[in-house]
């Protein structure tokens, strides 16, 4: 899996609160353009965010599903963008003296990207995921004091 990390000047609970708000997904996930619906109970296991990826008129509508969750420490997702494929993403949060450390791991699991070697996947996933974590951090910090 491709891994990136970022320490955020906010508590683990504050960062997880952003993850638990399915409507915020397009605000921090690079490539997500529009949230159409969030299942009741998000982020419970099996719940989904119905989203669009890409810009109009080429936007692809698909879903992201919760595979596993351990609030406020971990959220594991399967993000689909069919016919391009699907990815498994694991977000882990750990308390640090200066805030929360977010670790994001991702790997393509379906479709053509899954056939690419990990080193090639890393060329496009690492920069994208670093930017996603920066956006997530901004949302968590804007929610108020730690």
% of the chain exceeding 90 in pLDDT: 72
Look up the domain containing 94 and give its range: 2-142
Residue 130's CATH number = 3.30.530.20
Whether residue 55 has pLDDT greater than 80: no
pLDDT digits (tens, 9 = 90+) for 56-66: 777 888 999 99
Residues of the chain with pLDDT > 70, as a percent, come to: 97
Contacts of 34-40 with C-beta under 8 Å, sequence gap 24+, read 34/59, 36/61
CA distances 83 to 5, 41, 60, 63, 86, Å, are 29, 27, 9, 12, 9
Q: Is the pLDDT at 96 greater than 70, yes or no?
A: yes
Number of domains in the chain: 1
User: To the nearest whole number, what is the mean pLDDT of the chain?
Assistant: 92
Determine how many CB atoms are found less than 10 A away from the CB of residue 21: 16
Q: What is the pTM of this model?
A: 0.91
């Amino acid at each position: 899996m491709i891994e990136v990390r970022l320490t955020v000047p906010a508590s683990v609970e504050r960062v997880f609160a952003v993850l638990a708000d399915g409507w915020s997904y397009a605000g921090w996930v690079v490539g997500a353009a529009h949230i159409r619906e969030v299942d009741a109970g998000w982020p419970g296991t099996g719940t989904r965010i119905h989203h669009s990826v890409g810009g109009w008129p080429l936007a692809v509508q698909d879903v992201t599903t919760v595979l596993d969750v351990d609030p406020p420490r971990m959220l594991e997702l399967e993000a689909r963008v069919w016919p391009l494929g699907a990815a498994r993403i694991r977000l882990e949060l750990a308390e640090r003296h200066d805030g929360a450390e977010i670790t994001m791991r991702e790997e393509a699991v379906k479709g053509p990207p899954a056939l690419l070697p990990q080193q090639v996947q890393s060329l496009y996933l690492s920069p994208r995921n670093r930017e996603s974590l920066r956006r997530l951090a901004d949302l968590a910090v804007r929610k108020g004091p730690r």
